[in-house]
Chains A and B, each alone.
Chain A
Amino acid sequence: MQIATSLLPDCPEALLVNLARGGEREAFAELVRRRQPSIRNLMRRCCHQDALADDLAQQVFLQAWLKIRTLREANAFGGWLKRIAISIWLQHQRKNDALKDAEDIDLLEPQSRETPATGLDLDRALASLTGNEKLCVVLSYQEGMSHREIADAIAMPLGTVKSHITRGTQQLRQLLADYTEEKNKETSI
């Protein structure tokens, strides 16, 4: 099935997925264009390095392209892509486990100029969490996933996910206390 490239930006996602399943590269490129901000932002929050985040995000889309024929529900593309992203991040984390403990917040790669100050502070605070705490917190706050969805996605007991999120949230609140106070002032005014 061929479709004019100019029409792709207006196509519903399910149609694009079906076209991509049939090997339509232009349709897949449109899917990449639409989904890249969410995947790249997810990776940026997880690894705090723009270049590495983009490399991992590229791997996510490459995997998606290679496996797209295995996706049964075209409407489930977003969730499916997120699961690939989580799996790629976990693989990367496992490979770098030996170096994980040596991670120093101050040695984080300088972010690009476009990274907002809030993003920098948030990344620094996130870097102080353990790998699993960080992943659970990011999936909950950034991706809006429920605890149950997170537990299913990372194959972890629900109770563990909840405690990771609770601990992570408490730690982030402490580290980002200035923002918390600021927001509290804003609401009291």
Chain B
Amino acid sequence: MTDDRDPVLQALFTDAQQTLDDDAFTTGVMQQVKTSKRRFYYWSALILLTVAICWLLAPALQEFSLLTAQALTSNLFDPGDGWLSFLIAPVNNVASLLIVAIKILRSGRKRLLGTSFA
């Protein structure tokens, strides 16, 4: 098989070619080119700023994350030292309570609105 083309279809494709206004299109593209350059500078600046802030606040951030981890894993109540403490350990903490609360809120919203935005 060769790359031979149907001459009638070829003629149709040639006829269907449009002469298009180039000025408006070119202006649009160049506007996007300008915007993309500006966006690149904004993102670079934002990343640099974020890195600088993280670097400056590293000790405070570390302390904050430690405190948060401690708070989330703290027990909701004291079940004592028996087998019950082992059994409920995975759910006996603030993090579990937060997850359950979020799940309930989401399912409540789903029922109210009849749709999920998850």
A-side residues, CB < 8 A to B, are 25, 28-29, 32-33, 36-37, 40-41, 44-45, 54, 57-58, 61-62, 65-66, 114-116, 118-119, 121-123, 140-142, 146-147, 162, 166, 169, 172-173, 176, 179-180, 183-184
Contact = CB atoms under 8 A, between A and B. Distances in A.
B25 interface: yes
B78 interface: no
Given A33-B22, A54-B25, A66-B36, A45 B16 contact: yes
Q: Chain A contact residues: over half helix, strand or loop, or mixed?
A: helix
Given A54-B25, A142-B13, A146-B3, A28 B18 contact: no
A61 B3 CA distance: 29
Interface string B1-18: 101011111111101111
Given A37-B22, A57-B25, A116 B1 contact: no
B5 to A, nearest CB: 6
A29 B5 CA distance: 34
B89 to A, nearest CB: 44
Contact of B18 (A66, A114, A183): A114
Contacts, number: 99
20 contacts: A29-B26, A29-B30, A32-B30, A33-B26, A36-B29, A37-B19, A40-B25, A41-B20, A58-B25, A58-B28, A61-B29, A62-B29, A62-B33, A66-B36, A116-B15, A123-B16, A141-B5, A141-B13, A147-B3, A183-B7
A28 B36 CA distance: 14
B36 A62 contact: yes
A41 B8 contact: no
B6 to A, nearest CB: 5
Given A29-B26, A37-B22, A114-B18, A62 B9 contact: no
Contacts of A118: 12, 15-16
B32 interface: yes
Contacts of B5: 140-141, 169
A108 to B, nearest CB: 15
Given A45-B13, A62-B32, A116-B15, 14 more contacts: A32-B29, A37-B18, A40-B18, A58-B32, A62-B33, A65-B36, A118-B15, A119-B16, A121-B12, A141-B5, A141-B9, A147-B3, A169-B9, A172-B6
